[in-house]
Structure 1
Amino acid sequence: MQTRHIFNPFEILFLRLDECPIRTHKHSFFELAYIMDGEGTHNINGNDFRYKPGSLYLLGPLTTHHFTVEKTTSFVFVCFNNIYLKGITTGNEEQHSPENWMHKLEYIFQSKQDQGEIIRNERDKPLVAAIIAGLAAEHEQGPNMQKELVQQLINTLITIVARNITIKCDAKTGGDTIALQIINYVHLNIYDAEKLKAENIAEHFNISTNYISEYFKKQTGENLQQFIINYKLSLAETRLRHSNMRLNEIAYELGFTDESHLTKTFKKYKGESPAQFRKNIRGNDQTPKFKVA
């Protein structure tokens, strides 16, 4: 299977096709695929989804996909890699640091990418269309394109994607506002072990420490600590797949006691050690690995 790469921090492609020239493939980068007009089918990880004008898809590294064009289609592909992510800064404010952007994007790309269109909020669709139009206008400028403006448009698009993934979380919680807030709290504080303690989460949401896990499980089907562990392990998988971080570095960043604690937990839930997981992944794929900020 073909694996595509990009060699610039970001690339934007505008294509109008009667037939997709590339069959099932995967990338070593992140991609947002937008349909300006046309109809057909988008296969993501073996699942078929009908696409139409205004459809936006989120594709992370190693996601397999291809398009089957039924009516001439205008595609916009916004591709970006870790170099782009590391370069995202706005002033010196902590919330805009490259590291925090990377953490925010990890939350986005941990979402299921084989569930079709990413935009669930109807009010966001005209906004997405306007951003795409802005990108197209800048693209037509050729050498005079303002890269800073393009980056701001891409960052805004990413923020809209994040908001719509929150809507997906809302569906998971059955619409329970507090459960959704707890999920968002965990995502936001996943690197802060102190804030993830049950008593601190309970205090933050004014819920009894003895009841919060039961409450969370009632709303989501999963107890709170299990949810936290699963999310940490999904982040560990991302690092094992896409970075050269050592196991002790991953353990430290994700709040495990030490490398041994990470290995024991990973093996318990994944059926193999982190080292074996990485070895198997790299044995099956030769895409370049990057250092996570």
Structure 2
Amino acid sequence: MHTLSSTQQIPVHAFEPDEAVGNKSFTIAQSEGGLVYEPNLLTPHRKAYYLMVFLKHNRGRHWVDMVPYDHEDNIFYFTTPHQILIKEEPSPTWGSHLTFTDEFLALQQNAALRELPLIQNPYNGHQLRLSAADVAVVEELLAKIQAEYTRPGEWQHQMLSAYLTVLLTYLSRLYTEQFTAAEPSDDKLLLKTYQAHIEEYYRELHEVGAYAGRLHISAGHLSEVVKAQSGKPAIKHIHERLVLEARRLLFHTQQSVKEIAFDLGFSDASYFNRFFKRETGVAPAEYRTSIRKMYQ
């Protein structure tokens, strides 16, 4: 599996609109055994958009944030923006894939989609297994979306949104059935806001007080609510996000530990080493060696 050199940044693949149909924030494409060689997918990368893939038939393996997924028949794979992805090798594919952007979800008619479990992805899942009945429903909806997609007109956006809402709602029901942990409560708005701020600022802000200031509340109140809603101290959420990004970079790139430390906002590489070992039980260099041996 490819890794990036110490001088290479993990590239972010921008959304590519389909100029043929004039849709600037949503695409759908089908493959009937096609083998498209795209070298940029075979090295670690991020996508600046949502990707949903129905695989009717395919063999191979891809990775999402260091987790390998062996391809099976009748699987629905999904990823959210800015996760690190890599495909091991090109292979013939039968199926469909959808892409759409945050701007697409921001449209008034699509606002409800943001709240669906498949989009929120509270359990950080990336695949759904489909029964024969599920496959029939999904294929029918994808066919309707494909037909509407190639038929521009004044009602196209509304029809695409309607069909996509049904598809993602159906898949969200499967999501809640297949990820059986207790459902997140509706009383987690502050927790979600805090986590969203961490996602945006974790490289710059490492203290709970800094986030409390941005949220215009006291650090004590933020800590109390986050602990009550998540069962973890507020600082733990920051630390887990830093560790996740450190693991991504250690696994997928050749950046030195010192370079990774500075990239994550640590001014002292030795402190980063101690931080990582305290959080994971191993030093960064040891983690890199062991995780790469595991997947060689």
TM-score after normalising by structure 2: 0.57
Structure with more relative contact order (C-alpha pairs < 8 Å, separation 6 or more): 2
Separation in structure 1 between the aligned mates of residue 36 and residue 119 of structure 2, nearest angstrom? 35
Give the whole-Å Cα distance in 1 for the aligned partners of 2:262 and 2:175. 29
- Aligned pair partner of 2:221 in 255, 258, 261: 261
Report whether the alignment pairs 1:17 with 2:29: no
- 2:2 paired with 1:2: no
Match of 2:50 in 1: 30
Identical counterparts, % of pairs: 11
3-state SS, counterpart of residue 159 of structure 1: helix
Which residue identity lines up with residue 185 of structure 2 in the other structure?
H
Please state how far the C-alpha of 1:260 moved relative to its aligned partner: 4.7
Paired residue for 2:166, among 156, 159, 164?
156
Q: How does 1:141-220 map to 2 (within 5 A)?
A: 141=151, 146-170=156-180, 172=181, 183-184=182-183, 186-191=184-189
Report how far residue 107 of structure 1 moved: 6.6
Q: 1:66 to 1:166 in 2, by over 3 A?
A: same
> In structure 2, what is the equivalent of residue 132 of structure 1?
142
Report the Cα distance in structure 1 between the residues aligned to 2:149 and 2:55, rounded to whole angstroms. Answer: 17
Per the alignment, residue 207 of structure 2 pairs with none
Q: CA deviation at 1:188?
A: 3.2
Q: Is the 8 A contact 1:39 1:69 kept in 2?
A: no
Displacement, 1:61? 1.5
**In 2 relative to 1, CA 53–272 (structure 1 residues): closer, same or farther, beyond 3 Å?**
closer
Provide the C-alpha distance between the structure 1 equivalents of 2:197 and 2:137, rounded to a whole number of angstroms.
33
Report the number of matched residues. 216
CA distance in 1, matches of 2:218, 2:261: 23
Moved more, 70-79 or 41-50: 70-79
Change (3 A) 1:87 1:28: same
User: TM-score, normalised on structure 1?
Assistant: 0.57
**Could you say if the C-alpha distance between residues 145 and 102 of structure 1 is closer, same or farther in structure 2, counting changes exceeding 3 Å?**
closer
Q: Give the letter aligned to residue 45 of structure 2.
A: H
What is the CA distance between 1:106 and its match in structure 2?
A: 8.0
Out of 71, 89, 102, which is 1:51 matched to?
Answer: 71
Distance in 2, matches of 1:42 and 1:165, equals: 20
Unmatched segments (≥5 aa) in structure 1 = 91-97, 173-182, 194-231, 286-293
CA distance in 2, matches of 1:166, 1:142: 34
1:108 aligns with 2:120: yes
Are the equivalent residues in 2 in contact too, given 1:33–1:57 (CA < 8 A)? yes
Q: Distance in 2 between matches of 1:58 and 1:274?
A: 21
Bigger mean CA deviation after superposition, 104-113 or 160-169 = 104-113
CA contact (8 A) 2:74 2:135 kept: yes
Check conservation: 1:88, 1:101, Cα contact below 8 A. Answer: no
Q: Match of 2:46, as an amino acid? A: K
Residues 250, 69 of structure 1: alpha-carbon distance in 2 compared, 3 angstrom cutoff: same
CA offset at residue 2 of structure 1?
A: 1.9
SS at match of 1:188: coil
Q: CA RMSD in A?
A: 4.2
Runs of 4+ in 1 over 6 A off after TM superposition: 142-145
The 8 Å contact of residues 37 and 53 in structure 1, kept in 2 or not, is answered as yes
Give 1:240's aligned amino acid. I
